[in-house]
Amino acid sequence: MRIVFATNNQNKLREIREILGNKFEIVSLKDIGCHEDIPETGATLEENALQKANYVYQKYYLDCFADDTGLEVNALQGAPGVHSARYAEGSDHDSEANMQKLLSELENNNNRKAQFRTVIALLLNGELHEFEGKVEGRIDTEKHGSEGFGYDPLFIPEGYKESFAQLGENIKNQISHRARAVRKLADYLLKDHL
């Protein structure tokens, strides 16, 4: 089954392809000739995921899915949340600036609890299906590790002593928020559409 993943983020694309394996042909926006920067103006992860999936489905008439992911920090009332990729002022997907702002915001705070949450909106034959995955953990006081992307050097998942960036892709792709959401997506597709 060929399905569009509404992203041009190569890290996300690689991660999804590794999690889903070869049961599906996952193509990116670039692969279908979509070079527009699809707006993400929703107030929630759910709204953003649906907005991106709708854009592709309505313009290209292809089955597709889109995700939105946010890091939700308890002490910051769920921030950065839907603004995770643009958390630092004037930044757009600047992981370093985002991590520095987060560390600064939590500097004197002992409550480091956080969760990563991914929402996937799937449009299949025009019908919407949503899948959510989350992983709880905490924000470390400094960065550790060099693998992964985004906030991975700061986020230590529950039950582990190392950050996502230290654990590496193999472990991350088994336990992450995105992996959990993608497994639900894959289970649905495998059960009903292969």
Instruction: Confirm whether 31 is a catalytic residue.
Output: no
- DSSP code at position 75: G
C-alpha span between 12 and 16 (Å, rounded): 6
**Annotated catalytic residue: which of 63, 67, 68, 152?**
68
Q: Token pair of 102, please?
A: 């987060």
Residue 117 bridge partners (DSSP)? 70, 134
Token pair in block for residue 13: 């694309």
Residue whose entry in the numeric block shows the structure tokens 């996937």? 120
Distances (CA, A) of 181 to 65, 68, 136, 139: 12, 11, 14, 21
Catalytically active residues, by annotation: 68
